Amino acid sequence: MNENYPNQNPDPQEQNDEQPPIRVKTQQVAVRLPPLNSWVSYSILGVTILVYVLQLASGFLTGADIPAALGAKVNQNIAQGEFWRLFTPMLLHGSILHIAFNMYALMLFGPRLERHFGHARFFILYVLSGFAGNVISMMFTPAASLGSSTAIFGLIGAQGVFIFQNRGIFGNRSRQALVSIISVAAINLFIGLSPGIDNWGHIGGLVGGTMFAWFAGPLLRVDGIYPSFKLIDQRETAEIIQAMVVISAFFVILAIGTLYIWSI
């Protein structure tokens, strides 16, 4: 008795009828970026340089750096109600080398971030990072300090978050960019261990900028019809405002709590 088993001896013709695997060809396409109109970054640059010129002029005319005396982060003065000292240090600098290094870093990170964050959100990022850095500095070091590096470290943190959250857009280059950002932050924090450098301010600015970018930074997607594509930010305005309020309140509470402990 012969028993027939299905597909035991398949017909060669049937094998030839099988469909070959489909190969999808991939290619890079051009995506239109937002215009590079970085007037906020250049305004911060101009105002900071102007303030430093006033510092130099004050020292030349009076023998004292009056802007620094009125605006540096001095814990005792902040405890006496001079709360503007949690903001004004980011406009002040101690030497030409100090301001040159910080303004170079501002031009390195600022325009690119402003292109994607937009003018208002970038300004909030800068100011909030500087404020956060000065609050953390006030909490952990009694030394007076000044400089925009608190805000600059916030930009570094925001750049890292922006690349990480949009790594699907940037592709393979995102990993290399993240390694570079982390390396820059680590090297500068290591340099900040040197005497006379307010590393707590750097850490606070880094944390503040990272927090804001994580909850309010651009979330990009590609939109359009081939061959014209553009990047669309999916982050809602309400999310940005909420992040700004909550993060600002967090650091305000830290500052108030610190001042209260000092008063006991």
Q: Which residues are the active-site residues?
A: 149, 202
CA angle 158, 126, 82 (to 5 degrees): 135
Report the alpha-carbon distance of residue 162 to residue 214 in Å, rounded: 8
Report the alpha-carbon distance of residue 159 to residue 212 in Å, rounded: 11
Report the alpha-carbon distance of residue 33 to residue 18 in Å, rounded: 45
**Eight-state DSSP code of residue 35:** P
* Structural tokens at position 219: 């979330």
Q: Write down the residue that tokens 């303030």 correspond to.
A: 51
How far is residue 221 from each of residues 62, 229, 244, measured CA to CA in Å? 56, 10, 23
CB-based contact 73:205 (threshold 8 Å): no
Report phi then psi at 96, rounded to 5.
-65, -40
Which residues, in sequence order, are CB contacts of 262 under 8 Å at separation 6+? 79
Q: What is the CA radius of gyration of the chain?
A: 27
CB-based contact 216:99 (threshold 8 Å): no
Q: Across-strand partners of 222?
A: 231
Report the alpha-carbon distance of residue 250 to residue 235 in Å, rounded: 22
What are the E-state strand segments in 1-60? 31-32
